[in-house]
């Protein structure tokens, strides 16, 4: 992936632990020992990731004599709530989040509540300009990672059926990393996904778009198929063509939020990509809307704890 706020964000996230820690911090956990308990991370890894998050400005360490240090989200860290909301929205439809009990520890909350209407938030990604619900097929990015090209990206089975089948066939074991962590906690997987959204289909396409070596690329393509995000078909004899599944296309708002957050906090200067909403023709800004009361969702209006 070329240099961009999103690439910097994915570099920073780097692995699944960072996402887990952020979720735990959003739930209100502030102490070293509490973070270990909630996420199962080792002391050494936790110390390293907290340092990384401090260095990138997402959290700050507060120390006072005789008390345990606390880790607080900064404005930059708090602004990450939209990425987590987008992830929650995907998980509630496609992920293992519906498997309960128990509540997987890497969800921000079992059911984030919209304070304004008192309902469990059912966030919808809409265009801030025209108010229409947005899908991956209705936007065009100039330059990088979320540009759908011509032609259908997926099979068009009814969403409800596809979601059910996806969940049934990919209900993760408890010790398994959830699908999202596989994608956004591994920068090569996220590069492969971005390339697929840009229209990469063949091994050669992916190789050229991502610059990943043949061995690691083969493993990424296999892994993304195993978690149900890519599907391969025979093409030209022994070759395969790879397509995103509906579950993968539904990750589009997460990608948008990572781009937005990365451009805002990690990128200096003009964002390297503009996204246009094809329906209204305006520069696209994503707004999360409560499906119950139609109000825009704000962090202060959601209970994550």
Q: Please report, as ranges, the residues that interact with Zn ion according to CB under 5 A.
A: 114, 117, 127, 129-130, 277, 280, 290, 292-293
Residue with tokens 């997460």: 254
Q: How far is the CB of 117 from Zn ion (least distance, A)?
A: 3
Q: Are 244 and 226 in contact (CB under 8 A)?
A: no
For Zn ion, the closer of residues 2 and 274 by Cβ is: 274
Angstrom distance (rounded) from CA 268 to CA 16 = 26
For Zn ion, the closer of residues 222 and 282 by Cβ is: 282
For Zn ion, the closer of residues 114 and 182 by Cβ is: 114
Q: How far is the CB of 277 from Zn ion (least distance, A)?
A: 4
For Zn ion, the closer of residues 46 and 120 by Cβ is: 120
Q: How far is the CB of 106 from Zn ion (least distance, A)?
A: 25
For Zn ion, the closer of residues 69 and 293 by Cβ is: 293
Q: How far is the CB of 297 from Zn ion (least distance, A)?
A: 7
For Zn ion, the closer of residues 129 and 172 by Cβ is: 129
Task: Work out the burial of residue 281: count CB atoms within 10 Å of its CB; fewer than 13 is exposed, 13-18 middle, 19 or more buried.
Answer: exposed
Omega cis (within 30) before 101: yes
Q: How far is the CB of 278 from Zn ion (least distance, A)?
A: 8
Per-residue CA distances from 286 to 26, 169, 257, 296 (Å): 21, 31, 8, 11
Handedness of CA 52, 8, 255, 259 (dihedral sign): positive
Q: How far is the CB of 257 from Zn ion (least distance, A)?
A: 17
E strand or H helix at 78: helix 75-78
E strand or H helix at 139: strand 139-142
Angstrom distance (rounded) from CA 267 to CA 77 = 15
């Amino acid at each position: 992936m070329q240099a961009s706020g999103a690439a910097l964000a994915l570099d920073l996230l780097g692995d699944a632990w960072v996402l887990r820690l952020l979720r735990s911090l959003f739930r209100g956990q502030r102490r070293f020992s509490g973070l270990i308990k909630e996420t199962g991370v080792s002391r050494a890894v936790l110390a390293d990731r907290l340092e990384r998050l401090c260095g990138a400005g997402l959290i700050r360490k507060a120390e006072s004599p005789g008390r345990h240090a606390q880790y607080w989200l900064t404005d930059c860290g708090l602004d990450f709530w939209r990425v987590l909301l987008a992830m929650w929205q995907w998980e509630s439809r496609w992920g293992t989040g519906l498997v309960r009990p128990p509540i997987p520890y890497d969800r921000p909350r079992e059911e984030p509540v919209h304070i304004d209407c008192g309902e469990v938030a059912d966030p919808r990604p809409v265009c801030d300009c025209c108010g229409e619900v947005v899908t991956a097929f209705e936007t065009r990015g100039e330059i990088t990672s979320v540009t759908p090209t011509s032609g259908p990206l997926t099979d068009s089975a009814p969403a409800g059926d596809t979601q059910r089948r996806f969940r049934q066939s990919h209900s993760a074991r408890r010790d398994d990393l959830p699908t999202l962590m596989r994608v956004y906690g591994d920068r090569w997987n996220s590069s492969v996904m971005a390339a697929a959204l840009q229209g990469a289909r063949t091994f050669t396409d992916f190789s050229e778009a991502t610059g990943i070596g043949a061995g690691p690329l083969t493993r990424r393509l296999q892994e993304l198929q195993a978690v149900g995000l890519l599907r391969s078909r025979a093409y030209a004899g022994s070759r395969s063509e790879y397509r995103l599944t509906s579950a993968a296309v539904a990750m589009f708002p997460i990608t948008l939020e990572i781009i937005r957050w990365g451009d805002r906090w990690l990128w200096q200067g003009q964002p390297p990509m503009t996204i246009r909403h094809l329906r209204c023709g305006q520069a696209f800004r994503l707004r999360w809307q409560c499906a119950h009361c139609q109000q825009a969702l704000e962090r202060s209006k959601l209970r994550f704890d």
